[in-house]
Structure 1
Amino acid sequence: MKKITKVYTRRGDEGKTSLVGGQRVSKASIRLESYGTVDELSSHLGLLAALLPEGHDKDMVERIQNNLFNVCTNLATDQDQTPLYPSAYLPEGEIERVEQEVDAIMEMLPEKQGFVLPGGTKEAAQAHVCRTVCRRAERRIVELAANATVSPEVLQYVNRLSDYLFVLAKKLNFIAGHSEKLWQNACD
């Protein structure tokens, strides 16, 4: 891997940046907003991983962070002008892996009715923050896809990921013995 010797380039000082392929675009573009939000999600996942003990859940969160680099590379490529690099693709089977994780967690959780208030343990609360950032990333990607080519697996992965983060938050509260609080509709 090539060593990065400088963090700054001065090429972005006027509000533009380069995509994969070299095209210059505004830093306010929906493309940058989409992969910037995915990058933000990865940072929040890093905090979640730091809160989790060593084990399967931490490994899964770190695996997702790695996959999000592929997602960012995909989104940072204008596919109408530049072919995707191999690093822009998710590894084979990652969408199915997330689905299997969701199914496995759902099997262990008790059934509950109602909307869950985000919170509980620090770990679960952070998983909920990750979930909401993930949903925002998905909205940005959908907006990008309305005007540009976006790989379908990117949307599928991010959609499944928000489901995973929701059930992970529930699992983290459950294994800690922390009861979830349900929404109390004041209008009822």
Structure 2
Amino acid sequence: MAIYTKGGDKGTTSLFDGKRVSKDSLRVSTYGTFDELNANVSLAEKFCISDRNKQILQRIEYRMFFLQGEIASQDGEKFRSKSRIITDDDVHYLESIIDEYTTTLPKVNSFILPGSSLAGAQLHVCRTVCRRAERQLVSFMKVNPVRPEIERYVNRLSDFMYIMARSEDHEDYLEKVIEKVVQRYCKAIEG
């Protein structure tokens, strides 16, 4: 079966609820930017050192499908009747991770460079794409109704990406410190 349908050859695409819209519509641009974010989150997850962070990011990837699907539907009720949706539980989950990591990671008293590790750098890319997606969502909300849970979720998501980047940078730092200690120990006992 071919993956192409030729339905978009004239510049339109089908939404989740079957309605056709222009490919350059604000709706398509908004859910497309969240799709871009999700692809970047997937890449970041592959670079993560921490198994826990990988699991957390995988959970976020699935939530992004729900978020994109709801934005990709003019008929929100039709989407909500057929799919899971972003809820305040999802918002609270992000907040719980942010709060936990904020208290356990070393304090930051100045601006930081965007990522000292590969995963940290990629998570900062996620943070910036998320901010752009949020700006598009705000424009989208001026002409389309959006549930407040989605707005809250997206607002927390960039802070979540920031704290995840810090976590991965810290994990990378600890790994390098341990590696140096082991190297010095091995030299000392050899010599």
TM-score (norm 2): 0.84
Match of 2:74 in 1: 78
Match of 2:165 in 1: 169
Match of 2:86 in 1: 90
How far apart are 1:53 and its partner, in Å? 3.8
The runs of 5 or more residues in structure 1 that have no matched partner are 179-188
Query: Which structure: greater helix fraction?
Result: 2
Say which of 59, 63, 86 aligns to 2:59. 63
Contact 1:35 1:76 in 2 (8 A): yes
Match of 1:112 in 2: 108
Using the TM superposition, name which of 72-81 and 57-66 deviates more.
72-81
Say which of 118, 121, 124 aligns to 1:128. 124
Distance 2:64 2:165 in 1: 19
Equivalenced residues, count? 174
1:36 is paired with a residue of what secondary structure?
A: helix
TM-score (norm 1): 0.85
Q: 1:12 to 1:81 in 2, by over 3 A?
A: farther
Q: 1:113 to 1:63 in 2, by over 3 A?
A: same
Contact 2:49 2:171 in 1 (8 A): no
Contact 1:71 1:154 in 2 (8 A): yes
How far apart are 1:22 and its partner, in Å? 2.0
The one-letter code of the counterpart of 1:78 is Q
Distance 1:170 1:83 in 2: 35
Distance 1:123 1:80 in 2: 35
How far apart are 1:112 and its partner, in Å? 1.9
Contact 1:41 1:133 in 2 (8 A): yes
The one-letter code of the counterpart of 1:128 is H
What are the Cα deviations for residues 39-83 of structure 1, in whole angstroms up to 9, with x where unaligned? Answer: 111100111111124621000101000000000110001147956
2:21 is paired with a residue of what secondary structure?
A: strand
How far apart are 1:128 and its partner, in Å? 0.2
How far apart are 1:161 and its partner, in Å? 1.0
Say which of 28, 34, 47 aligns to 1:51. 47
Using the TM superposition, name which of 7-16 and 45-54 deviates more.
45-54
1:163 is paired with a residue of what secondary structure?
A: helix
What are the Cα deviations for residues 150-184 of structure 1, in whole angstroms up to 9, with x where unaligned? Answer: 12111111111110110111111122228xxxxxx
Which 4+ runs in 1 deviate beyond 4 A?
Answer: 80-83
The runs of 5 or more residues in structure 2 that have no matched partner are 175-191
Contact 1:16 1:24 in 2 (8 A): yes
Distance 2:71 2:133 in 1: 11
Distance 2:4 2:170 in 1: 45
Distance 2:113 2:51 in 1: 26
Q: 1:174 to 1:83 in 2, by over 3 A?
A: closer
Larger C-alpha radius of gyration, 1 or 2? 2
Distance 2:24 2:155 in 1: 24
Cα-Cα RMSD:
1.9
**Alignment identity in percent?**
36
Match of 2:97 in 1: 101
